[in-house]
A and B are shown apart, each in its own frame.
Chain A
Amino acid sequence: MIDPLFALLVGIGVMLIAGLVFWPQSGLFWKYQKRRELTEKVLIEDTLKYIFKCERNQKTATLESLAGALSTSQANASEILALTQARGLVDLSENSFSLTDTGKRTATQIVRAHRLWERYLADTTGFDEGDWHQQAERLEHKLSEEEINRLSASLGHPTHDPHGDPIPTQRGEWVSHGGLPLSDLALGTPSRIVHIEDEPEVIYAQIIAEDLHLNMVVEVDETSANRIRFWTDDQEHVLAPIVAANISVVPLPEENQDHQIEGVSLDSLQPGQTGVVTGISSLSRGVERRRLFDLGITPGTPIDVEMVNPGGDPTAYRIRGSVIALRSNQARLIKVNPKN
């Protein structure tokens, strides 16, 4: 029989290698797969997208920045650029380059695919908001124009992606959200979040961590050079100006300033208390939101707090005669007016 010590070491070695190769996301196998997907088509499309973004933001794209965006060497980047020029997608002159009309059209379609995918991931899958962008970056290259149109139709032709970016139509039309950076918002102006930039990831992660989402109403009450303090409902947030600049807001119109949902969160009620539903926060999306409506949680519905799990979560509520248990992260999104 094989020496157990030897077998043990080989076994541990095999496990380590298997871990190294198949570890979720950072495993070598997944990296290899990602590399294989990085075909010429993908590189060209990413190049177009990058130049397109630069043009929209009135920045000049340089070979150096392009190489950075594609995470490749400058030699490779210039090779790809030559390819795009040969296909009539990019105009190269001296030191700058710009998209031709065909190039613009192609780039718009890729942006359209990307944003539709994000919408799809947000509405019909369970992926977290932190995962949407990366997934869409991969998926955007996979569909033909016809398939993109079908995806759009199946989602009900959405106008915006979950970050508030407009989705270009089939004809390539779109209007921008017209918001101003939160860092520039005047004190004491209730405003609605219309866009959250999802790049760079580090900054986006901070925004997610603050639980800030589209359509929330914010009000700034303190700005200084290194921090901005603002409120959503009863929640206080403090962000660095550079982070806040990635959130765009539109001031609420004068006559509509009490637009936000009133009341307290359902999970703040104690057993025996009753609350009347005023609304469900927009953080509850897609299937989950539909389920809450299905249960009859609509504005005006009284909800009694029935009992709490021995461990504190979930809590059972009496809704329209039936007893339903909800977890606190769901009950938190239901706003109620407490009744005595």
Chain B
Amino acid sequence: MNSNYEKILKSARDLRWDIGVDFHEKTMEALYTDATRIADRAVTYPKEKPRFDLDRTIDKLVTSRVWGFPLMILMLTFIFWLTITGANYPSGLLFSLLIDKVHPLLKAGAASIGMPWWLDGVLIDGAYLATAWVVSVMLPPMAIFFPLFTLLEDFGYLPRVAFNLDHIFRKAGAHGKQALSMTMGFGCNAAGVISTRIIDSPRERLIAIITNNFSLCNGRWPTQILIATIFIGTMVPAYLGGLISAISVVAIALLGVLLTFVVSWALSRTILKGEVSTFTLELPPYRPPRILQTLYTSMIDRTLVVLWRAIIFALPAGVVLWISANLMISGVSLAEHLVNILNPFGLLLGLNGVILVAYIVAIPANEIVIPTIMMLTVLVTGGNGIGEGSGVMFELESGLATLNILTQGGWTLLTGVNLMLFSLIHNPCSTTIYTIYKETGSAKWTTIASLLPVVMGFVITFFTAQIWRLIAGW
């Protein structure tokens, strides 16, 4: 009995060496071939194809050498233009409603019921104001950009963009579909990170997630535009001001695209080398977009989810900001202490302490960077009755008045330029960091995605500042 078992086991062990190296592959291939055979017997395909194939005609056009790229650029420019101009009006409306009308009303209400000043400050000047600010700046562009983007996706055009651009992305070790998540990132980095789900190759997906932060998001455009207008636009004659500041903002956005490629290239050759890479890109048939369904899903999936997360993070940020500006330690507020501590390091980077503190407070939402900077600058310089009081964020209607306050705070052209650079290259906002963690499920990649850009930002602003000062003779 026992010797029989032994014999069988022995011959099994011997046979194991004879089945061949690629035994598993062969088995898999046989399984697939069988499945194919069964499917071919059971499934019938329509015989004759129509003579005029609309899909193929559109494909020929949008991927042609001559028309492919111009069409693509035209389409994306149109979407951005529609988003920016379209969002202006509702944004202004929301702003005047939530901040100019409701905020004083709340303050008056609080005063009438005799709420203690600190509770009123924390709740209304801190939590409410920060949240309202983020909502009014963030909601309208997202509500326009995301549905438009989803419509193009639904129609089937976006996969062709990925197809056209794959040639370039391949050279950076990335996937053509990264073009889509990158574009989505111009709307919102958190949404951009979510949209990398379409990339099914693990390595390329991580690249897309880590580099998405280099897409200048909607929350950072206003900062760029304001700083470019008041610092760079005023350097040239007035009639050129608008053009020059627009060009410098676009240059920053393009620098972001360039960094995306450079960082993708470096990542795919170093820390991401071991991740599996499999490229495939499906080009689905075109179909008429389902407008209502698209509106609904993009509102629910993208706009509201992202907005909800932003609110959750902006609310405590407002509270922290207000407390730090009003909590006095030996006669000086906590915020001022922080500004003073960070000031030498900030100046070394061609920035200043106020900017660094603003970026720490504004980790939850980039939208509140400028109002926070304004508030802190007035707080530190002593302000002459400008602004709304310590801990209350504000912006000024007039660019010139803003410039005046900032120059009083010691700002130069270099500070402006470096703020633009740092606004592009710094850690992602906490909404995005949280999303990255959710999407990758890995603390390691989340840490890298958060720290890599901010370290790069320090290095780039540092060198810009030193070279600038050398040339300008400080």
Kindly identify, within residues 101 to 124 of chain A, every residue whose CB is under 8 Å from any CB belonging to chain B. 121, 124
Query: B469 interface residue, CB < 8 Å from A?
Result: yes
Neighbouring A residues of B348 by C-beta, 8 Å: 2, 7
Q: Are A310 and B68 in contact (CB under 8 A)?
A: yes
Q: How far is the CB of B332 from chain A (nearest CB, A)?
A: 23
Partner of A1, one of B281, B467, B474: B474
Query: B211 interface residue, CB < 8 Å from A?
Result: no
Q: Report the bound CA distance from A1 to B474 in whole Å.
A: 10
Closest to B56 in A: A306
Q: Report the bound CA distance from A324 to B200 in whole Å.
A: 14
Known: A309-B167, A325-B283. A287 touches B29 (CB 8 A): no
Kindly identify, within residues 1 to 40 of chain A, every residue whose CB is under 8 Å from any CB belonging to chain B. 1-2, 4-5, 7-8, 11, 15, 24
Kindly identify, within residues 1 to 58 of chain B, every residue whose CB is under 8 Å from any CB belonging to chain A. 13, 16-17, 19, 21-25, 28-29, 32-33, 36, 45, 56
Q: Are A282 and B167 in contact (CB under 8 A)?
A: no
**A271-296 interface mask toward B, CB cutoff 8 Å, 1 = contact, 0 = none?**
00000000010100011111101011
Neighbouring A residues of B276 by C-beta, 8 Å: 124-126, 286-288
Query: A200 interface residue, CB < 8 Å from B?
Result: no
Count how many chain B residues have C-beta atoms less than 8 Å from C-beta atoms of the other chain: 59
Query: B163 interface residue, CB < 8 Å from A?
Result: yes
Q: Report the bound CA distance from A204 to B230 in whole Å.
A: 61
Closest to B14 in A: A175
Q: How far is the CB of A284 from chain B (nearest CB, A)?
A: 10
Q: How far is the CB of B284 from chain A (nearest CB, A)?
A: 7
Main SS at interface, chain B? helix
- Report the stretch among B252-260, B292-300, B382-390, B457-465 that lies at the interface: B457-465
Neighbouring B residues of A323 by C-beta, 8 Å: 59, 282-285
Kindly identify, within residues 286 to 340 of chain A, every residue whose CB is under 8 Å from any CB belonging to chain B. 286-291, 293, 295-296, 298-301, 306-314, 316, 321-327, 330
Query: A169 interface residue, CB < 8 Å from B?
Result: yes
Kindly identify, within residues 364 to 390 of chain B, every residue whose CB is under 8 Å from any CB belonging to chain A. none
Q: Are B279 and A311 in contact (CB under 8 A)?
A: no
Partner of B279, one of A158, A282, A299, A326: A326
Neighbouring B residues of A121 by C-beta, 8 Å: 274
**B155-182 interface mask toward A, CB cutoff 8 Å, 1 = contact, 0 = none?**
0000000011011101000001000000
**B131-165 interface mask toward A, CB cutoff 8 Å, 1 = contact, 0 = none?**
00000000000000000000000000000000110
Query: B270 interface residue, CB < 8 Å from A?
Result: yes
Q: Are A311 and B167 in contact (CB under 8 A)?
A: yes
Q: Report the bound CA distance from A272 to B451 in whole Å.
A: 49
Query: B80 interface residue, CB < 8 Å from A?
Result: no
**B347-366 interface mask toward A, CB cutoff 8 Å, 1 = contact, 0 = none?**
11000000000000000000
Neighbouring B residues of A280 by C-beta, 8 Å: 29
Neighbouring B residues of A306 by C-beta, 8 Å: 56, 59, 283
Neighbouring A residues of B269 by C-beta, 8 Å: 24
Q: A159-B17, A327-B170 are in contact. List 10 more A-B contacts (CB 8 A).
A: A126-B273, A126-B275, A127-B273, A215-B21, A290-B28, A291-B278, A298-B29, A298-B36, A325-B280, A325-B281
B residues touching A (Cβ–Cβ < 8 Å)?
A: 13, 16-17, 19, 21-25, 28-29, 32-33, 36, 45, 56, 59-60, 63-65, 68-69, 163-164, 166-168, 170, 176, 202-203, 269-270, 272-285, 347-348, 459, 462-463, 465-467, 469-470, 474
- Shortest beta-carbon contacts, A-B, top 4: A311-B167, A4-B469, A8-B466, A325-B281
